[in-house]
A and B are shown apart, each in its own frame.
Chain A
Amino acid sequence: MAIVGTSTRRPDYLDKVTGKGAYVGDLEIPGMAHAKVLSSPLPHARILRIDASKARALPGVFGVLTAHELGDMDPYYGSDIKDRPIIAIDKVRYEGEPVAAVAAVDLETAEAALDLIDVEYEELPVIATMNDALTDGAATVHQSNLCHESHYEWGNTEEGFAEADRIFEDTFTFPMVYHYSLEPHTVIARYDELGITVWDSAQHPFLVRNELARLFGLSLNRVQVVVPYVGGGFGSKSYIKIEPLAVALSREAKRPVKLAYSVEQSAKTVRRHAASITLKTGVRNDGSFVARDCQIRLDTGAYADNGNRVTDRCADQVPGPYLWPHLTVTSKGLYTNTGAAGSFRAIGGPQAAWASESQVDMIADALGIDPLELRLKNLGAPGDVIRQGKNPLDADIATGLKEAAKGVGWAGRGAKPVTQEKETKRGIGLACSVLNAGASPTSTALVRLHADGSATAMVSTVEVGQGSKGVMAQIAAEELCIPLEKVGVVASDTAIVPYDRSTGASRSTTLVGLAVQLGAKEIKQQLLDLASKHFEAPEDKLAFADSSVVFGQESITYAQLIRQMFGGPAGELMGRGYVTPQTEGPLKGLPVFWEMAVVGAEVEVNEKTGAIRVLRLVSVSDIGKAINPKQAEGQDEGAAMQGIGHTLFEELIYEDGQLLNPNLVDYRVPSFEEVPDGFETILIENEDGPGPFGAKGIGEGPIAAVAPAIANAVFQATGVRIKELPLTPERVWRALQAGTSGGHKVDALTEG
Chain B
Amino acid sequence: MSEDHRLQISFVVNGRPVDTEIEPHLLLLDLLRDKLALKGAKRSCDMQVCGACTVLVDGNPVSSCTYLAFEARGTDVTTIEGLADGEKLHPLMEAFIDNAGLQCGFCTPGMILAAKSLLDLNPRPSVEEVKEYMRGNLCRCTGYKKILESIEDAAQRMQG
Q: Contact residues of A with B, CB < 8 Å?
A: 7, 9-10, 12-23, 25-26, 179-184, 229-234, 262-263, 464-467, 630-631, 633-635, 637-642, 663-665, 669-673, 675, 679
Contact = CB atoms under 8 A, between A and B. Distances in A.
B160 to A, nearest CB: 21
B138 interface: yes
A442 to B, nearest CB: 25
Nearest to A466: B103
Nearest to B146: A634
Contact of B44 (A20, A263, A634): A263
B47 A663 contact: yes
Which of A466, A671, A675 is packed against the most chain B CB atoms within 10 Å?
Answer: A671
A9 to B, nearest CB: 6
Majority DSSP secondary structure for residues of A touching B:
loop
Given A17-B112, A19-B40, A232 B141 contact: yes
Interface in B69-124: 79-81, 83-84, 89, 93, 96-100, 102-109, 112
Contacts of A234: 140
Closest 6 CB pairs of A and B: A19-B40, A465-B104, A16-B105, A231-B106, A465-B103, A637-B143
B98 to A, nearest CB: 8
Contacts of B96: 13, 17
A491 to B, nearest CB: 14
B155 interface: no
A636 to B, nearest CB: 8
Contacts of A14: 97
B140 A9 contact: no
A21 to B, nearest CB: 6
B47 A18 contact: no
Contact of A23 (B49, B106, B130, B135): B106
Given A13-B96, A672-B131, A634 B106 contact: no
A266 to B, nearest CB: 10
A452 B8 CA distance: 55
A26 B83 CA distance: 19
- Residue among B47, B79, B134 facing the most chain A CB atoms (10 A cut-off): B47
B135 A182 contact: no
Contacts of B41: 19
A15 B104 CA distance: 11
Given A17-B93, A182-B52, A672-B144, A630 B105 contact: no
Given A13-B96, A672-B134, 16 more contacts: A17-B89, A17-B97, A19-B41, A22-B39, A234-B140, A465-B105, A466-B103, A630-B100, A663-B49, A664-B45, A665-B49, A671-B135, A672-B148, A675-B144, A675-B145, A679-B145
A553 B50 CA distance: 61
A641 B42 CA distance: 22
A642 B109 contact: no
Contacts of A26: 33, 39
Contact of B109 (A19, A25, A232): A19
Interface string B129-160: 01110111111111111111000000000000
Contact of B130 (A17, A22, A466, A672): A672
A590 B143 CA distance: 30
Contact of A19 (B39, B50, B130, B146): B39
A272 to B, nearest CB: 14
A646 to B, nearest CB: 12
A186 B41 CA distance: 16
B140 A182 contact: yes
B3 to A, nearest CB: 16
A18 B107 contact: no
Nearest to A181: B140
A639 B140 CA distance: 9
A638 B80 contact: no
A675 B97 contact: no
A675 B109 CA distance: 21
A373 B154 CA distance: 44
Contact of A182 (B100, B106, B145): B106
B106 A232 contact: yes
Nearest to A21: B105
A423 to B, nearest CB: 21
A21 B108 CA distance: 11
A616 to B, nearest CB: 13
B142 A634 contact: yes
A371 to B, nearest CB: 26
A631 B143 contact: no
Contact of A638 (B45, B97, B138, B141): B141
Nearest to A632: B100
B45 A663 contact: yes
Contacts of B144: 637, 641, 670-672, 675
22 contacts: A10-B97, A13-B96, A13-B105, A17-B80, A18-B89, A19-B81, A20-B81, A25-B42, A26-B39, A179-B140, A181-B104, A183-B42, A232-B104, A465-B104, A634-B100, A640-B143, A641-B142, A642-B140, A672-B130, A672-B132, A672-B137, A673-B131
B103 A183 contact: no
Contact of A263 (B46, B97, B98, B130): B46
Contacts of A230: 104
Contacts of B106: 23, 181-183, 231-232
A286 to B, nearest CB: 39
Contacts of A15: 105
A147 B41 CA distance: 41
B102 to A, nearest CB: 6
Contact of B108 (A17, A233, A631, A637): A17
B49 A12 contact: no
A357 B155 CA distance: 42
Contacts of A639: 143
Given A13-B97, A17-B96, A19-B80, A637 B146 contact: yes
A17 B108 CA distance: 6
B57 to A, nearest CB: 17
Contacts of A675: 131, 143-145, 148
Contacts of A231: 42, 44, 104-106
Given A9-B97, A18-B80, A465 B141 contact: yes
Given A23-B106, A26-B39, A229-B105, A671 B145 contact: no
Given A232-B141, A631-B100, A663-B45, A182 B39 contact: no
A463 B67 CA distance: 31
A710 to B, nearest CB: 15
Given A183-B42, A231-B106, A634 B52 contact: no
Contact of B107 (A182, A634, A640): A182
A464 B138 CA distance: 17
B138 A669 contact: yes
A261 B39 CA distance: 17
A99 B146 CA distance: 43
